[in-house]
Structure 1
Amino acid sequence: MVTFLVAIALLIVGYFTYGKFVEKVFGVKEERMTPAYANADGVDYVPMDTKRNSMIQLLNIAGVGPIFGPIMGALYGPVAFLWIVFGCIFAGAVHDYLTGMISIRNRGAHLPELAGKFLGKAFRHVVNAFSILLLVLVGTVFVTAPAALIADISPAWVTMGAIVVAIFLYYIVATLLPVDKVIGRLYPIFGALLVISAIGVGGALIVQGHPIPEMTFENMHPGGLAVFPLLFLTISCGALSGFHATQSPIISRTTQKESQGRKIFYGMMILEGIIAMIWAAAGMALFSGEGLNEVLAAGGPAAVVREVSITTLGAVGGTLAILGVIVLPITSGDTAFRSARMIIADYIKVGQKRISNRLWIALPLFVISVVLTQVDFNLLWRYFSWANQSTAMIALWVGAMYLALQRKNFWIAAVPAAFITMATFTYILNAEIGFRLPIEVAYAGAALITAASIAAFFYTVKARLAASDSGLRPIVVDEELDRSA
């Protein structure tokens, strides 16, 4: 119990201390006009206040990841707490803040455009394809996961197929309509349900005295799976998630002032970390390692959510808690498709004021997602985890390059970027969905790739700064906003 409470306290302290430090390093310009005003179009560029933006950002980034991931990560034991706390403070929240704020400084640009600008033109095309893949996977996972939870608490006559159709219909509406018409109005209600459910489960763990284990570095995974790199890909949302880099630009286009960024981007990631801590603790407290593994094998993370909710809060309270969990994937799935539409529109330079333009871009994405719903959830989750952390790796290198080109403290992004580079490549070199190399070979290969990435980063920074100092190629990191819109 002490470890759990200290971890929650550290996350909160991290927001007020390291979050403030990151904000200072970035250098907020209060007087600078944001894209919400400069490029207002009534669809995606719409000014909204901090409370609405914060709640939308939280629900955008907090899909089933900060619940399902930590539940599966709980198999490793309390070592999972360390990754949630330190990963969230020093990697995830930094990642979210930098991607959101750099996007604000570049007309609300999405990650592919930012990668092309700061890492090289080729990255724009690669990251564009990668982002679309990730977002379609996210949208698909966030259809099947909430559908399974809804089916568990619905009458027998409500079929799984009907639930999936209903969710897809909502996603289509939320993807096509202006951001303030559906998302801006429903999310405050959904957010309240989410917060209440998380507080309810977390409070019940404390009040009812459930035995949350204390800190140990022992790997408790019943299958003996290695902590590195698997834990760092299993728990992504709640610690570090590249999916967030696809979501922050949605809010960068609705943010009124740069000073609101720390609360919206850094702060909501910290809150997501707290949610992840609660569900990881619940998984450890209510089940033994073997018991948790058995429930996961029988019914997946959704079964654990149901058992935890009913056990801690009873039938009525437990149902409300499950509804709070259902809200998470649905409110990330809709913005996953919305973000995919925006990225494609930016890439092929098609304006989004006309609904017909939004429609012909979005509908093929939904068709692909419908096909993917027939694929095994566990397989989809493994691909999602790898794609997710690979995107986080790219986004952190973008943030490091942005800061380095301004001669600012780039280490705040470069260190977590190097770490997740090592973890991501170790995983894909060793995993069954990857190259299936022996783990020792995977470690060596990932170390070489990480070293090469670091060397390439420093070489590029040195070359671009030298070209700028000589007057050959001035560095432009922040774009002038189009005030004629």
Structure 2
Amino acid sequence: MITFFVAIIILVAGYFTYGKLVENIFGSRQERTTPAYTLADGVDYVPMNTKRNAMIQLLNIAGVGPIFGPIMGALYGPVAFLWIVLGAIFAGGVHDYLTGMISIRNRGAHLPELAGKFLGKTMKHAVNAFSILLLVLVGTVFVSAPASLLDGLTPEVITLGTIVAIIFLYYIVATILPIDKIIGRLYPIFGLLLLISAVGIGGALIVKGAPIPELTLENLHPDGLAIFPLLFLTISCGALSGFHATQSPIISRTTQNEKQGRKIFYGMMITEAIIAMIWAAAAMSLFDANELNTILKESGPAAVVSELSIMSLGAFGGTLAILGVIVLPITSGDTAFRSARMIIADYVRVGQKKFSSRLWIALPMFVISVGLTQIDFNILWRYFSWANQSTAMIALWVGAMYLGLQRKNHWIATIPALFITMVTFTYILHAPIGFHLSKPISYAGAALITIAAMFAFINGLKKRLNKGEPIKVDDELGEAS
């Protein structure tokens, strides 16, 4: 259990040390007026306080990813702890903070618009399509997962189809109504369930003296699956997740002050990592690898969550823990569709004050999502994992270019960008859902692409800096009056 305690301590320390360093490098300014005020529209641009924003951000980013991912990642053994800790501090926290703060500096812009501004206009169109695909996949995954968990708690007369329909209905309402009407009011209640779930499972592990394994770099996966690149895609939320880049701009439009950014963006990433640590530790301590592998193959991660909760907290406490887990995907699914609606609206330049404008953009997404629920969950998860980390790669390159153009230390974003570029391309070149090439060719191809990306970044940065013209990285609208 020493590894577990040390990991939690390092994560908390990372927020106060490396998080502060990232904030200083970025240069947050308290006197700048944020888009929540300059673009206030009563729908998406609505000033909200730090506690409210932080809780919404946590619930937005913490879907089933920091639970299902770590449970599946637990098959690799305690090496998973290492990725959660280092990934969250040096990659995930940086990713979330930069995407949130750069968005604040650019009128609450979403990733496609930021990619277009900092990586080129062609990237804007590509990232726009990619982001919408990711968000619809996320929304679909986050319908299927909570529906499966609720199906095990409700009477037989309430069918799985009925539960799916209810969740979709909630998503439609939360996507279309102003952010402070549904999301802003319900999330504090949902947050309480989340805390009960995480604290309950973590406390049970400590009180019962669960045999949480100590750190080893050995690959313990029963099927012998390679740590690289699979572990880094299996555990995304909780370490580094591109989905967060689609969520942070929602809160960038409600943040009152730039100085609140470290707590809202970097801090909630660290909180998510602690949740991931708890579930990974629980899976490793309460099941042996073969038993866990069997349950995952036969019944999926939702079944593991149910068993872990009941085993740790009993029938009543376990049910509360399961409800907390159900809350996570639902509170990410609704904002996934909301983000998609906002991205499409920005792209086609349609104002969102009118209810009808929000409705005609949102409804087609839900029609597509309903169709995707018919696809096997495991297939959806594989595509989601790859799309998720590919989005993280793009967001980190945006952050690196932003800092580079300001002649600031871009390496805090460039190094994790290089790493996740290698991970995502190795996976898609080798995976059956991708090009299905041999391992040596996949590694070599990914390495060449990563090197090319590095040269393209350095060359592009030098060209823009050598033009001798003022480079506008922040929109003037955000300046203090």
Output the TM-score relative to the length of structure 2: 0.99
Unmatched segments (≥5 aa) in structure 1: none
Counterparts of 1:179-194 in structure 2 under 5 Å?
A: 179-194=179-194
Aligned to 1:82: 82
Distance 1:86 1:146 in 2: 29
Q: 8 Å contact 1:429–1:435 — kept in the other structure?
A: yes
Residue matched to 1:480: 476
Code of the residue aligned with 2:471 in structure 1: it is I
Return the letter of the residue paired with 2:160. Answer: M
Alignment deviations for residues 78-107 of structure 1 (CA, whole Å, 9 cap, x no partner): 000000000000000100000000000000
Instruction: Provide the residue aligned with 1:14 in structure 2.
Output: 14
Whether the 8 Å contact between 1:151 and 1:159 is mirrored in structure 2 is yes
Please give the alpha-carbon distance, in whole angstroms, between the structure 1 residues aligned to 2:287 and 2:227.
20
Mapped partners of 1:88, 1:48: distance in 2: 26
Residue 5 of structure 1 is matched in structure 2 by: 5
Q: CA deviation at 1:209?
A: 1.2
CA distance in 2, matches of 1:252, 1:272: 19
Residue 39, structure 1, aligned to residue 35, structure 2: no
Task: Provide the residue aligned with 2:66 in structure 1.
Answer: 66
Deviation of 1:156 after TM superposition, in Å, equals 1.1
Deviation at 1:216, TM superposition (A): 0.5
Aligned to 1:297: 297
How many angstroms apart in 1 are the aligned matches of 2:358 and 2:116? 24
Equivalent position of 2:320 in the other structure: 320
List gaps (5 residues or longer) in structure 2.
none
Superimposed CA distance per residue, residues 235-280 of structure 1 (whole angstroms, 9 cap, x where no aligned partner): 0000000000000000000000000000000000000000000000
Q: Which residue matches 1:224?
A: 224
Deviation track 1:385-410 (CA, whole Å, cap 9, x = no partner) reads: 00000000000000000000000000
Equivalent position of 2:245 in the other structure? 245
Q: Report the Cα distance in structure 2 between the residues aligned to 1:137 and 1:8, rounded to whole angstroms.
A: 31
- How much does 1:20 deviate? 0.4
Which amino acid is 2:285 matched to? A
Which amino acid in the other structure matches residue 403 of structure 2? L
Q: Do the aligned partners of 1:201 and 1:313 also contact (CA within 8 Å) in 2?
A: yes
C-alpha contact 1:39 1:482 (8 A) present in aligned 2: no
Deviation at 1:163, TM superposition (A): 0.1
Structure 1 counterpart of 2:251, one-letter code? I
Q: In structure 2, what residue type is equivalent to 1:193?
A: L
The aligned length equals 480
Cα pair 2:115 2:123 within 8 Å, conserved:
yes
Partner of 2:263: 263
In the alignment, does 2:94 pair up with 1:98? no
Cα distance in structure 2, aligned partners of 1:227 and 1:136: 28
Question: The residue matched to 2:476 in structure 1 has which SS?
Answer: coil
Cα offset for 1:53? 0.2
Residue 110 of structure 2 aligns to which amino acid in structure 1?
H
Cα RMSD of the aligned pairs, angstroms, is: 0.9
2:152 and 2:9 map into 1 onto residues whose CA distance is 34
Q: Which residue does 1:278 correspond to in 2?
A: 278
Structure 2 equivalent of residue 400 of structure 1: 400
AA partner of residue 359 (structure 2): L
In 2, distance between residues paired with 1:323 and 1:85? 26
Q: 1:211-254, CA deviations, whole angstroms, 9 ceiling, x for partnerless residues?
A: 11000010000000000000000000000000000000000000
Instruction: Give deviations 1:7-33, integer Å, cap 9, x for gaps.
Output: 011100000000000000000111000
Whole-Å separation in 2 of the counterparts to 1:93 and 1:187: 22
Q: Is the 8 A contact 1:81 1:277 kept in 2?
A: yes
**Matched AA of 1:76:** Y
Supply the distance in 1 between the matched residues of 2:229 and 2:112 (Cα, whole angstroms).
26
Asked whether the 8 Å contact 2:66–2:236 carries over to 1, the reply is yes
Distance 1:154 1:319 in 2: 11
- Counterparts of 2:77 and 2:284, CA distance in 1: 7
Aligned to 2:445: 445
CA contact (8 A) 2:33 2:478 kept: no
**Alpha carbons 2:219, 2:227 under 8 Å: kept:** yes
Summarize the alignment of residues 326-341 of structure 1 with structure 2, pairs less than 5 Å apart.
326-341=326-341
Amino acid at match of 1:329: P
Quote the Cα distance in structure 1 between the aligned partners of 2:74 and 2:185.
35
Question: 1:297 deviation in Å?
Answer: 1.1
Q: Distance in 2 between matches of 1:481 and 1:147?
A: 43
**Residue number in structure 1 paired with 2:376:** 376
TM-score (structure 1 length as normaliser): 0.98
- For the 8 Å contact 1:55–1:188, the answer to whether it is kept is yes
Give the letter aligned to residue 36 of structure 1: A
User: Amino acid of the residue matched to residue 391 of structure 1?
Assistant: T
Q: Which moved more, 1:191-200 or 1:414-423?
A: 191-200
Equivalence for 1:365: 365
Q: How far apart, CA to CA, are the structure 2 residues paired with 1:278 and 1:244?
A: 20
**Residue 482 (structure 1) shift:** 7.3
Deviation of the 1:290 alpha carbon: 0.2
Q: Is the 8 A contact 2:136 2:369 kept in 1?
A: yes
User: For the Cα contact (< 8 Å) 1:59–1:332, is it kept in 2?
Assistant: yes
Residue in 1 that maps onto 2:415:
415
**Counterpart in 1 of 2:454?**
454
Matching residue's letter, 2:427: Y
Q: Separation in 1 of the partners of 2:13 and 2:196?
A: 22
SS of the residue corresponding to residue 460 of structure 1 reads helix
Q: Counterpart in 2 of 1:428?
A: 428
- Pairs within 5 Å for 1:115-264: 115-264=115-264
Match of 2:29 in 1: 29
Q: Is the Cα–Cα contact under 8 Å of residues 149 and 302 in structure 2 kept in the other structure?
A: yes
Q: Which amino acid aligns with 2:194?
A: L
Give the 3-state SS of the residue equivalent to 2:433 in structure 1: coil
Q: CA deviation at 1:148?
A: 0.1
Task: For 1:62, give the aligned amino acid.
Answer: A
Measured against aligned partners, the alpha-carbon deviations of 1:433-457 in whole angstroms (never above 9, x if no partner) come to 0000001110000000000000000
- Kindly indicate whether the alpha-carbon contact (under 8 Å) linking 2:55 and 2:188 is maintained by their aligned counterparts in 1: yes
Code of the aligned partner of 1:439: K
Quote the Cα distance in structure 2 between the aligned partners of 1:440 and 1:378. 26
**Are 1:95 and 1:396, in contact at CA under 8 Å, matched by a contact in 2?**
yes
Contact 2:147 2:163 in 1 (8 A): yes
| CA–CA distance in structure 1, aligned partners of residues 102 and 286 of structure 2 | 42
